Amino acid sequence: MSFFKAATAERKSPPVLHKDTLRQKRLAHEQAQKDAGIWGDMAVGQIIRENKVFIHHWKGHALTDLFTLAGKKPREMTPVEHDALVAWLKSGIYEGFTQSFVAWNISLDEALRIKNEFLEKHRSNGLEVVNPS
C-alpha cells in the first residue's frame, strides 16, 4: 500500500428514498399513458355554481380568473360555448363559483371524451349543464 493512496472502502449504493420511489411510479404511469395514446398537454376542468355546471378543456395554462375567462375566449372553446359561459357568469355575481380540474396531461381526443362523459354524468345526476348541446 502506498503512502499517498488512501485505502478504498467498499462503496455502498445510495439508499432509495421515498421521493425516488414516487418519481419512478410517476414516470411509469406517464409512460403507460403515452403507450396508450392518451398522454398530451390538454386539461379538462369544471365550473360549478349551485345546481349548474360548465365543463371546458384547454391547452397550456388554465384561465382560472373568471373575469379573464369571460373576457377572452380560449382557443379550444367554441364561440357558442363561450357565449353560453359568459351569459351564465354575468347572470349573477361572480361569488360562489367553484372550479376544479377533472383531468390533465391528456391528449385532445381523451379530453373531448372525458368532457362528454362528464357532461352526460352531470345531466343524468340532475344538474343543469350550461354547455350548449
- Straight-line distance from the first to the last Cα atom of the chain, in angstroms, rounded to the nearest whole number: 83
- Express each pLDDT in 32-78 by its tens digit: 888 877 788 899 999 999 899 999 998 877 666 788 888 888 888 99
* Amino acid identity at 71: G
Q: What is the pTM of this model?
A: 0.73
| pLDDT single digits (tens) 74-124 | 888 999 999 999 999 888 777 888 999 999 889 999 999 999 999 999 999
In 3-state terms, what secondary structure has residue 76?
A: coil
